[in-house]
Amino acid sequence: MQALNRVKVGLFIPCYVDQFYPRVGIASLELLEKLGCQVVFPTTQTCCGQPMANSGFENMTGACNQLFLDSFSDCDYVVSPSGSCILHLKEHMKVAGKENQSKILRAKVFELVEFLTDILKIKEIKSEFPYRVGLHQGCHGQRGLLLAQMSELNAPAYSKPLGLLRKVKGLELVDLDRADECCGFGGTFCVSEEAISVKMGKDRVADHIRNGAEFITGSDMSCLMHLEGILRRRESKVKVIHIAEILNGSYITAPALS
């Protein structure tokens, strides 16, 4: 842990998390600080560029890429509480004329769970969360960043997010009928294919509820935002919570689950 005091971790907070879920940014920051990292949040950052690129307009992501490169090039690591944004950056972040610098930066980019597990290699978590929790495994984190084994493959099971959640005191994990089915958010898909997006989300929510979850967690707030929209519309008592909030123990003001 000592060495980490000297490494500089740049915190990348996705645009929609910055605007709608500041608590997730705060939890990520506090958690990394508690674990001994020197964390900075360059305020010149905006977005990873994925909303444009996934819509077919990767050619409109030049400015985002430039901002990202300028904001984070002097960091030892870049960490973000979003598997989807990180996957996009790892695969596509490139500034014309600065190919080598881009490549070096892409290799330093980590999703939060990945960073905690593979770089910090944390052994214990001082957090308590006495609730039944279902893990929503975001697809880009899983199938892109390999945060967990994929049910399609004939390969040994593992899960980095579950590994972390199992260290949380009092937390009871809920098994799902479909462990890694997509929630249907899908970026602009959520509005351009509204009917399917919502149906997929309803089915995911139903799986968690059927199996007794009080909270749905995950490391991608975009999936959780979509699932939350569906839960709130049906006035469900089930809540979404980002994994950083659980690990940071920041859910101390939990509303009574009456």
| DSSP states along the chain | -GGGGGSEEEE---HHHHHH-HHHHHHHHHHHHHTT-EEE--TT----SHHHHHTT-GGG-HHHHHHHHHHHTT-SEEEESBHHHHHHHHHH---TT-HHHHHHHHTTEEEHHHIIIIIS-------B--SEEEE---HIIIIIT-SB--TTSSS---BHHHHHHTTSBT-EEE--SSTT---S-TTTHHHHTHHHHHHHHHHHHHHHHHTT-SEEEESBHHHHHHHHHHHHHTT-S-EEEEHHHHHTT-GGGPPP--
Assess 76 for contact with other proteins (CB under 8 A): no
- Interface with other proteins in residues 50-69 (CB under 8 A): 51-61, 63-64, 67
* Binder of other proteins out of 8, 106, 119, 144 (CB under 8 A): 144
Read off the tokens for 62: 């030049």
CB of 78 to other proteins, least distance (A): 16
* Binder of other proteins out of 34, 46, 90, 162 (CB under 8 A): 46
Q: Which of these ranges, 106-114, 121-129, 136-144, 250-258, lies near other proteins under the rule CB under 8 A? A: 136-144
Assess 253 for contact with other proteins (CB under 8 A): no
- Interface with other proteins in residues 207-226 (CB under 8 A): 225-226
Instruction: Mark residues 12-41: x for contact with other proteins by CB under 8 A, - for none.
Output: -x-xxxxxxxxxxxx--x-----------x
What whole-number distance in Å separates Cα of residue 48 and Cα of residue 64?
6
Q: How many residues bind other proteins (CB under 8 A)?
A: 75
- Interface with other proteins in residues 84-123 (CB under 8 A): none
* Binder of other proteins out of 103, 166, 233, 237 (CB under 8 A): 233
- Interface with other proteins in residues 154-193 (CB under 8 A): 154-155, 178, 180-182, 184-193
Q: Among residues 12 and 131, whose Cβ is nearest to other proteins?
A: 12
Q: Among residues 171 and 242, whose Cβ is nearest to other proteins?
A: 242
* Binder of other proteins out of 4, 119, 122, 150 (CB under 8 A): 150
